[in-house]
Structure 1
Amino acid sequence: MLHDITERKTIEAQMTHFANYDALTNLANRRLVQDRVQQAIMHAQRAQARFAVMFIDLDKFKRVNDSHGHDVGDQLLQAIGRRLAACLRAEDTVGRQGGDEFIVLLAKLRTPADAVRVAEKILEGLSMPFAIMGHDLRIGASIGIAVYPGDGEDFETLIRHSDAAMYQAKKSEDLKYHFFDPIEGDTPPVDEVVAPSE
Structure 2
Amino acid sequence: MSHTLTAISAAAPLAAGWTMHGLWFRRSLDQARRDPLTGLPTRASFEKHAEQLLRETRCAVLLIDLDGFKQINDVHGHAAGDAAIRAAGGRLGTWVQVQDGAVGRLGGDEFAAVVPMRHTTDLPVELRTLHEMVCEPVAFDGHLIPLGSSIGAYHGPFPAPGLSTALRVADEAMYGAKQTGGGWLITSNPIPAYRTVNGRRDGRPGTDIDAEEGTT
Calculate the TM-score normalised by the size of structure 2.
0.76
Structure 2 vs 1, CA of residues 179 and 127 (structure 1 numbering), >3 Å: closer, same or farther? same
Alignment-derived partner of residue 102 in structure 1? 111
Percent identity between matched residues is: 31
Q: What is the correspondence of 1:1-198 to structure 2 with a 5 Å cutoff?
A: 1-44=14-57, 50-88=58-96, 89-106=98-115, 108-149=116-157, 152-173=160-181, 176-180=183-187, 181=189, 185-187=193-195, 190=203, 195-196=213-214
Structure with the greater relative contact order (CA < 8 A, sep ≥ 6): 1 or 2? 1
Which secondary structure does the structure 2 equivalent of 1:111 belong to? coil
CA distance in 2, matches of 1:112, 1:35: 25
Question: Contact between 1:146 and 1:152, CA under 8 Å: does it hold in 2?
Answer: no
RMSD of the TM alignment (CA)? 2.6
Mind listing any 5+ residue stretches in structure 2 that lack a counterpart?
1-13, 196-200, 205-210
Superposed CA offset, 1:8-52 (max 9, x none): 2133212321232111100122112111111112212xxxxx101
Counterpart of 2:87, as a letter, is A
Superposed CA offset, 1:143-179 (max 9, x none): 1111254795211111111111111111124x62112
Mind listing any 5+ residue stretches in structure 1 that lack a counterpart?
45-49
Point out the structure with max Rg over C-alpha: 2
Calculate the TM-score normalised by the size of structure 1.
0.83
Give the drift of 1:182. Answer: 5.9
After alignment, is 10-19 or 116-125 more displaced? 10-19
